[in-house]
Amino acid sequence: MEPFIRLTAVAAPLLTPNINTDVLIRVEPMIKVPKGKLGPYCFEAWRYLPDRSENPDFILNKPAYRSAKILLAGLNFGCGSSREPAVWALADMGFRCIIAPGFGDIFFNNCFQSGMLPIVMPVETVEKLAKLAQSQGDLAPDFTVDLERQVIVTPSGEDIAFRIDALKRRALLDGLDDIGVTLAAKAKIDAFQANDLAQRPWIYRY
């Protein structure tokens, strides 16, 4: 997995609450399009008009935000389906970090698996960041997200602290392969199953 250490980029504000993973990636491209090429299908229903031309009113189509790598999102971002391609689609579109007042629990977990940093911030903070992210013409300001220091640096240089669970933070910083880590302690799983088999034989032999 690609490590996440520090990122400086434009932040796009899209504060609609309850954006679900079906909106992030519809089921059809999720099945047909490989990881790495999902970008054009992210937010498909909102990004394009029915004739497939770009919807100029959609925030991520505006010139100022086309290079955004940070998404400022609303309540319960990524609710719904467990589809991990929702994270891949955002990543393929260029995003590496999402800042929101809350996330769908499964989506939140999936982010860490794909090198995407999800940051939970109070709604007032996200709204403040969204104001700071406003564009002037075709230009929007850069923010820095520093996972090492656990701060967001605003365009004016103010540090805003955030917190990521130590275990998840380490894994992102190091880009760990968690299967390798788990199998290094395979004896623990063996021991658990041997003991459990004696307690609950019906789980293992059925």
Contacting residues toward another protein, per CB under 8 A: 15-18, 20, 22-23, 26-28, 31-32, 44-45, 50, 74-76, 79-85, 87, 102-106, 109-110, 113-114, 165-167, 177-179, 182-183, 185-186, 188-189, 192-193, 196, 199-204, 206
DSSP state of 176: -
Q: Shortest distance, CB of residue 199 to another protein, whole angstroms?
A: 8
Looking at beta carbons only, is 28 or 159 nearer to another protein? 28
Q: Shortest distance, CB of residue 183 to another protein, whole angstroms?
A: 6
DSSP state of 64: G
DSSP state of 21: H
- 3-state secondary structure (DSSP) of residue 6: strand
Looking at beta carbons only, is 9 or 11 nearer to another protein? 11
Please return the burial class of 48, using the count of CB atoms within 10 Å of its CB with bins 0-12, 13-18 and 19+.
middle
Looking at beta carbons only, is 149 or 188 nearer to another protein? 188
Question: Which uninterrupted H or E stretch holds 29?
Answer: helix 27-32
Please return the burial class of 202, using the count of CB atoms within 10 Å of its CB with bins 0-12, 13-18 and 19+.
exposed
Question: Which uninterrupted H or E stretch holds 118?
Answer: strand 117-120
Pairing between strand 142-146 and 151-153?
A: antiparallel
Looking at beta carbons only, is 139 or 187 nearer to another protein? 187
Looking at beta carbons only, is 46 or 141 nearer to another protein? 46
Q: Shortest distance, CB of residue 73 to another protein, whole angstroms?
A: 11
Q: Shortest distance, CB of residue 168 to another protein, whole angstroms?
A: 8
- How far apart CA 120 and CA 143 sit, in angstroms, is 16
Q: Shortest distance, CB of residue 42 to another protein, whole angstroms?
A: 13
